[in-house]
Every structure is written in structure tokens, then in C-alpha cells.
Amino acid sequence: MTFDLAATMRIVRPYPNIIGFYDGRIPGVRAHSPAPNWLDDGAFTLGCCSYAIVEGDEALVYDTHMSIPHALVVRRTLEQQGIRRMRVILSHWHTDHVAGNEVFADCEIIANPLTQQALIDNREWLENNDPPIKPLIMPTTILPGETELRVGNTVVEVRFLDIHSHDGAVLLLPQTGVLLAGDTLEDTVTYVTQAERLSIHLRDLARMQSWDFTHILPNHGSYEMIAAGGYGRAFITATQLYVDKLQQLKAHPELAALSLRDFAAEALATGGIEYFDAYEPVHRHNVEAVLALQRSASIGA
């Protein structure tokens, strides 16, 4: 069963200065097509939330969501709340984070330089995918490094992380102790897109763990958790345990046969994540990606 895109969007305000735009995780519903496609299988089925940090008549939009209709809801909602100055910052280059860029083409679109390059390198693939992101609107402002932005008096620290994707940009709000995490953390488990970088991902998860904040708002997670103010720091610990276990597949190949629930038992026991059955295919993808990398390394040895 499919719905009109964005017809099921839920708007939530976990903090006075943060608005979330959530869609997906609706049993039996696919938003785009019954056939395999990135929008349903990588975003809608897993649940997707983009955010806006707001103060006065200003907003900083964190990702433009998974379609033009979703982005239109984001923009219309902000305008109805009196927002007149909008900027966008991208968490990374993947489809469900840049698909709505066209709606904000008249705004400043800020990105990590690695995100800009990834969009250039993958432009043809993005514009010819299913569904296509065409035209792909590119960033207009490229950050020279980690920086501090302001939305009114709200301080937004932009920090770069190599977790899930090499070009991650997360937003730390030190005044409220909130981290907007993009895809660096997902509930139930991270989606492995660069299996060869798992050790780097663990390094940056440890770096994230050292930062001072109390609540985490991911792009893929439970609506109820996001609406209640986000996840606690055990979210990071759970992700570390899962990624570390993926690395154990070489020494313990029997782990590959386990379901997500069994494979991630230690991670789930932290209470930092919740089991969601739609992540079983994600876990299977992750295991296959790690095993494929190991096979390739064995052939090349």
C-alpha cells in the first residue's frame, strides 16, 4: 500500500527551539513504490526525521528530507510560524538528506567540503536513481572546517564525523545539551555504507562519546523517542558494541548466521536502542558488506 508523499508527515517539537519533521515507520505502508527503491527501503520504512533549529524569524534546516513534497511541508510549516530567514545545513550526501534541496534553492545551503565532493562524484547516480533527485541542488557555502553558527542567540557547533559516511556533519547545541546526529547513530543499528571504514567509525564514536551533551536526536529512529526529547548517551555505547561485533565476523564467522536481535543482544541490553524488525534487512546488508570486504581482502592477499 502506498500513500501520497508527505501525507503522513508528523511535526514534533522536542525542544522549544527545535522542530522535527518525521515520516515513516507505518506498518504495511510504502511511500513511493512496491518495488525496491531507496526512498522506501532506506528512509520511509525505517522512519526519517529532519530538523529545524529556530529562533525569532530565523531557522537552520538540518537536511531537506526524502522528497520534494516533504521539503515543501518543512518550508511551509516554518513560514507559517513566521520564519523569514532560512539556511540549510546538510548532514551528509545521501539521498534522503538532500532530496528536498530544490525547495530551498533560494537559500544558503551549507555543507562539509567532503559532502560537496561526494555530491559532485555521485551526481549522475543521484539524478538517475529511483526516485530520481533531479535537479540535484548543490551546496552554496562550503565550510573550511568545524565551525560555530548562530540562530538568533542559539549557538550551533558544527562538528565533522566519519561514522556511517565519511562526510558526516553533526550539530551540537551546547546551551541545551542536544546533539543532532544525522545518520551517525540509528535506532536500531547503523547502516554500513563503507565497511572498510568501520575502525574509523569506532574511533569517531569514541570521540563523540567524549563530548558534553545529554540528548541525541537522530534522523532515523523512533518517533516516540524523538518526540520525548531524544535518546540518551547509551545510544552511542550500543552503536559501538554493534560495530565492534561486526568487526568480529572475521574471527567468528558463525556470527553471520544470527538474526539482528541475537547479533545485537549486548547492544540492545544497554537500553540505548530498541529492536525494530525493519532493521533485520539492514543488518543482513551490513553483514554481507563486511563479509564481502573480507573476501576481497583475502583474494588480494
118-155 per-position pLDDT tens digit = 999 999 999 999 999 999 999 999 999 999 999 999 99
Rounded to an integer, the average pLDDT of 176-181 is 98
For residue 144, the model assigns a pLDDT of: 92
Q: Is pLDDT of 114 > 70?
A: yes
194 close to 165: Cβ distance less than 8 angstroms = yes
Query: Which pTM was predicted?
Result: 0.96
What is d(CA 193, CA 198) in angstroms, rounded to the nearest whole number? 10
For residue 182, the model assigns a pLDDT of: 98
49 DSSP β-pair partners:
22
For residue 54, the model assigns a pLDDT of: 98
Grid cell digits, residue 246: 561486526
For residue 294, the model assigns a pLDDT of: 87
Q: Is pLDDT of 1 > 90?
A: no
Burial 65-91 (b: 16+ CB within 10 A, else e): bbbbbbbbbbbebbeeeebeebbbbbb
Say which residues have a Cβ less than 8 Å from residue 157's Cβ, sequence separation at least 6: 146, 147, 148, 171, 172, 173, 174
In the structure, what pLDDT confidence band is assigned to residue 99 with cuts at 50, 70 and 90?
A: very high
Q: Report all structural domains of the chain as residue ranges with CATH numbers, in order of start.
A: 10-300 (3.60.15.10)
188 close to 260: Cβ distance less than 8 angstroms = yes
Which residue in 107, 108, 88 sits closest to 97, CA to CA? 88
In the structure, what pLDDT confidence band is assigned to residue 298 with cuts at 50, 70 and 90?
A: low
225-237 per-position pLDDT tens digit = 999 999 999 999 9
Rounded to an integer, the average pLDDT of 99-118 is 98
48 close to 66: Cβ distance less than 8 angstroms = yes
170 close to 89: Cβ distance less than 8 angstroms = no
Rounded to an integer, the average pLDDT of 275-285 is 97
Cα dihedral 199, 200, 201, 206 sign = positive
108 DSSP β-pair partners:
87
Phi-psi region of 63 (alpha: psi -120 to 50; beta: other; left: phi over 0): left
- What are phi and psi for residue 131, nearest 5 degrees? -75, 155
For residue 31, the model assigns a pLDDT of: 87
Phi-psi region of 230 (alpha: psi -120 to 50; beta: other; left: phi over 0): left
- What are phi and psi for residue 200, nearest 5 degrees? -70, -40
Lowest mean pLDDT among 33-42, 126-135, 156-165: 33-42
**In whole numbers, what is the pLDDT of the chain averaged over residues?**
96
For residue 295, the model assigns a pLDDT of: 81
Cα dihedral 115, 11, 135, 36 sign = positive
For residue 300, the model assigns a pLDDT of: 55
163 DSSP β-pair partners:
165
Neighbours of 184 (CB within 10 A): 28
For residue 244, the model assigns a pLDDT of: 98
142 DSSP β-pair partners:
111
Q: Is pLDDT of 240 > 80?
A: yes
For residue 87, the model assigns a pLDDT of: 98
89 close to 110: Cβ distance less than 8 angstroms = yes
Q: Is pLDDT of 220 > 70?
A: yes
188-215 per-position pLDDT tens digit = 999 999 999 999 999 999 999 999 999 9
Which residue in 296, 207, 280, 190 sits closest to 244, CA to CA? 190
For residue 301, the model assigns a pLDDT of: 52
Q: Is pLDDT of 20 > 80?
A: yes
